[in-house]
Amino acid sequence: MKTIANKAPYELRSLNSAVEQIVYYDSLTQLPNRNAFMLALINLVSVDNVQEFNLLFVDLNRFTEVNNNPGYLADDKALIAVTKLFKNATNHEGTLARFGGDQFAFLIRGTETLALDIVVRLHQVLEKALSIEGDLYHISPCIAMARYPYDGNTAAELLHSADIAIQHAKGKQEGYGYSCKLLNSAIRRHRIGQRLKGAMNEELFHLLYQPTVILDNNQFCGAEVLLGWNDPDLGSVSLDEFIPIAEQLGVMPNIGQWVIKQSCLQLKKWIAAETPLPGRLSIKISTQQLEQETFIHELMNNVLSEGALPTDIELDVTESLLMKDQQKAEEKLCELNMLGFSVAIDEFRTGYSSLAYLEKNSERTLKIGHSYMVNIATNNHVKKLVKVIIDTANRLGITTVAEGVETAEQAELVKELGCKAAQGFYYAKPCSADQLTQVMNWDNTISKKVATLDFKFAGSSCITGN
């Protein structure tokens, strides 16, 4: 009797453990099941002062192809294989559960960045086909994400948000959904950040050039450098996409110096080919670049080492840079001006502090922002405002350039208002160095040949201030 009594607690513990295994764990994958996941979720949102966390739902696309396989337990073997891949991908960062059927769920405590990183990994581990019973299956994840407390304050609200997101994700090629904003957009930003640091080393960046023309005679008077990025995984990545991310990661100074170095190399090539660029080559400078103590030294080193001169280059800065720390910014820009660089205020709106800076320097250009061009032909208030800017600049002897000119009507309007030069798709889209070289070689026959490349300017010239 004593022996039996001693065994009873052990047997009860074993029984409880067996019941718990049945109730809270999936018998196939040995992952926590729906019951365990729901309990964990409810407990998590019930904790006082709970931090932000993320809920992920993952459906397996094209899993019916495995279900239809007549092979013995092919679907079970596929689910076990996917479970192993998911475990390896997540490195146990959170709670992974089999929610039912071919659906998995994750609870990830931590930042949105961590959750997005896991989403990328889940997608990557299923990029290769699964080999089951000698057959290959191309299964892909359909992923939805909800974030506490932004997408719900209770377990029910979060599940509802995630369910809406998974329905949205199923209708999209990317296979991502997000309850408040599209996860495919967020995930793209995350992947851009991951790829950005290696893009220069892998030579994925390239330069494009957009000509500037004199409005009086449509003659070519310089060009602006634009940075392009074609990524084997991401495809074409626009400046608007990756520049804010580069600034956030703090890599803009390195990218900016790379642009300067490559631009100077191209200037040297044009000179060697006896087709020097008329006017200056405009290069955008970021706030992060200008704030670096070593910026001017690195700039001069890159320019001179590649055989270019400061007088070949115009540095474009936004007026927000001047407004951030006006005195310090003006000191640096004046030093650049003294070294021979021209400085232009880019995307100008109404910053009269920018005009005050330009008035003090000999080489001065003001570029009227694209946002004005959008409405200048239809909004009389915008037209009057642009006229005030141009009139003020002309009185101060500052050259004005209209950016983002896309129609003949816009071009004619800014010309009538007294603007000196323009740039935009109406004249030419950004082009390669070779295309720009052709333009510089065409001389008198340019008007006949430019039509084949959608260029609408008439020749080559230089522009100077008033």
Per-residue pLDDT of the chain (466 residues; tens, 9 = 90+): 444 445 555 554 554 566 677 788 999 999 999 999 999 999 888 876 777 899 998 988 888 888 877 666 888 999 999 999 999 888 878 889 999 889 999 999 888 888 888 888 888 898 888 888 788 888 888 888 888 888 888 888 888 888 877 776 665 544 444 443 445 566 677 778 888 878 888 889 999 999 999 998 888 889 999 999 998 878 888 888 899 889 888 899 999 999 999 999 999 999 998 888 888 999 999 888 988 889 999 999 999 998 899 999 999 988 777 666 677 878 888 899 899 999 898 877 655 555 565 566 555 788 998 888 988 999 999 999 899 889 988 888 889 999 999 999 999 999 999 999 999 999 888 999 988 887 766 443 333 334 334 445 444 433 333 3
Exposed / middle / buried, residue 250 (Cβ in 10 Å: 0-12, 13-18, 19+): exposed
Distance CA(45)–CA(425), nearest Å, equals 53
Distance CA(202)–CA(204), nearest Å, equals: 6
Instruction: For residue 236, give the nearest of 199, 288, 279, 275 by alpha carbon.
Output: 199
pTM of the predicted structure, to 2 decimals? 0.64
Token pair 């003090």 in the structure block, residue: 360
Query: Residues of CATH 3.30.70.270 domain(s) within the chain?
Result: 2-191
At 456, is the secondary structure helix, strand, or coil?
Answer: coil
Q: Where in the chain do CATH 3.20.20.450 domains reside?
A: 201-460
3-state secondary structure of 431: strand
Superfamily of domain 2-191 in CATH is Reverse transcriptase/Diguanylate cyclase domain (3.30.70.270)
Q: Hey, how many other C-beta atoms are within 10 angstroms of the C-beta on 153?
A: 11
9: its two tokens: 């607690």
Peptide bond preceding 253 in cis form (omega within 30 of 0): no
Fold for the domain defined by 201-460? TIM Barrel (3.20.20)
**Where in 232-273 does DSSP place strands (E)?**
235-237
